[in-house]
Structure 1
């Protein structure tokens, strides 16, 4: 009972962080949201989540800002303000540390640029193979809303299932066709056959079968361009037909401890046959 209460309190902190990334997130306020003693809540959060609350806020703000750089034409000063940074200089330093380049260069030359130019020799860094995969049984936390915010669902799963399990996310809708608020996804971990699924998590199965597996190396903020290339160029040229099951991603690195440019993700597109 006490463990469930701890998880609920940390869920509330995570939800508050995502909802107030644009605001001045005072750690004292987060302590009040957590309903833990201010002397201890930092240690609890870090021990369970693998990063401090301040590190989580910085990482999520950078992810949001990087996504806006890739997907919008907003000016860099406006993106800095909307992402909760005090100014362009602070934003530039933070993005340079986290993503290896300043905002203007990231917008032009980030990991997404290879899919914009679609030069074959550069796309070799993101190979696609056809693979027969086994059935995956997952413990998942459903998420509704922007895909880039699925981290809060992953936090719920990891709190209850622990670290060391393979992380997978299922994405059910096309973000080009469905309003952001209605996008459906689920964050989960792979289970052993006899593993229990604690509430409020759900059990979900991904059937075995053929998949086009694209190995993507780089920030999550640039991944949408990889999807556009996979569906718009690779799939028609491959002669393959997509199966009636959502695309999903398998994460080979942990975003809490891996630099965005070094993150490794497999995008699995189910195929007929």
Structure 2
């Protein structure tokens, strides 16, 4: 359980969101990881605020004189390095996928006094200016820079709340899909093409649902074999244009539907928990079709911890 001392936020707010490491580790280490996982969660949900060390150390329940060293020893990142990575990741996605958002607004949201300081930090991180990244992102560098961040958050922020999917029946859904096959580091390029097609065909997320069909895990699959389909609800016919979208159908039938709220880094942990913790005891049998998710609320339109995805696990 997270201890946040005299902070106005209550400990109960964090119950169920902070996790420990594997059960075979010493109990002391589990408690330590759990308390510091609460710090990660707090930083993620207060990314736009000042985050003084004294406040973070209080949440961890450790002396402020030792907090920084313990954080770095546990996670392999300095506390302010972690905060900067989180903020610059959001900024990069806003630059790439939200062309109507000004660089100045993105800089201010990222905690910088102005575009010059933001540009210096951004260039140090990526070797590109914010405007250069917006025009032509170096997705490969971006992806592999954030792999350690993905590993850190996926390991230490797995929810402990019991999974409670609901069994639902869905009708078949006609969609237009854009397949991404190959290196997951280049998925950002495919997403930009997908967004461009939707804008040209006037299919915003507010009126046309967005789906991802997940064939395998980008972090455990050889890059050449990785596949994900980006899909939008769309009745036929589909005119794919230069982007290459084609008509398809999300199969109807029975599904276990689990609503997941939070960042994509821990979405995979929720999916694994469905397979490992829920399915064996559910009495259900999987259908021979890939699982898919519906994107209900999008990051970076909302903060990562407020993004909502409905996971659909196909059942016989």
TMscore range, shorter length: 0.5 to 0.7
Q: Does 1:224 align with 2:304?
A: no
**2:314 corresponding residue in structure 1:** 270
1:190 aligns to 2:233 (yes or no): yes
Within 5 A, what are the aligned runs for 1:42-121? 68-71=148-151, 110=157, 112=158, 114=159, 118=160
What secondary structure sits across from 1:252 in the alignment?
A: strand
Q: CA shift at 1:139, angstroms?
A: 1.2
Deviation at 1:26, TM superposition (A): 2.0
- 1:1-273 matched pairs, under 5 angstroms: 23-27=126-130, 29-30=132-133, 68-71=148-151, 110=157, 112=158, 114=159, 118=160, 122-123=161-162, 127-145=164-182, 150-162=187-199, 163-164=204-205, 165-175=208-218, 178-194=221-237, 196-199=239-242, 200-272=244-316
CA change 1:231–1:65 in 2 (3 A) is farther
- Contact 1:153–1:186, Cα closer than 8 Å, also in 2: no
TM-superposed CA distance for 1:161, in Å, is 1.8
* Matches of 2:124 and 2:233, distance apart in 1: 30
For 1:201 and 1:141, the matched residues in 2 are separated by: 5
**1:177-211 CA distances to partner (integer Å, 9 max, x unpaired)?**
53134211111111134554434112221111111
Distance 2:165 2:183 in 1: 26
Distance 1:151 1:259 in 2: 19
Q: Structure 2, unaligned stretches of length 5 or more?
A: 1-94, 98-122
Question: What is the alpha-carbon root mean square deviation over aligned residues?
Answer: 3.5
- What runs of 5+ residues in structure 1 fail to find an aligned partner? 1-12, 35-52, 73-105
Alignment CA distance shift 1:230-1:244 (3 Å) = same
Residue 25 of structure 1 and its aligned partner are, at CA, apart by 1.5
Higher Cα radius of gyration: 2
Q: CA deviation at 1:24?
A: 1.3
Q: TM-score, normalised by structure 2?
A: 0.51
Is the CA contact 1:157–1:189 (under 8 Å) kept in the aligned structure 2? no
Please give the per-residue CA displacement for 1:225-247, whole angstroms capped at 9, x wherever unaligned.
11110011111111111111111
Tell me which of the two structures has the higher relative contact order, counting C-alpha pairs closer than 8 angstroms and 6 or more residues apart. Answer: 1
| Aligned length in residues | 189
- Paired with 2:124 and 2:301, the residues of 1 have a C-alpha distance of 20
Distance 1:107 1:171, change over 3 A: closer
Task: Please state whether the residue corresponding to 2:177 is helix, strand or coil.
Answer: strand
Match of 1:4 in 2: none
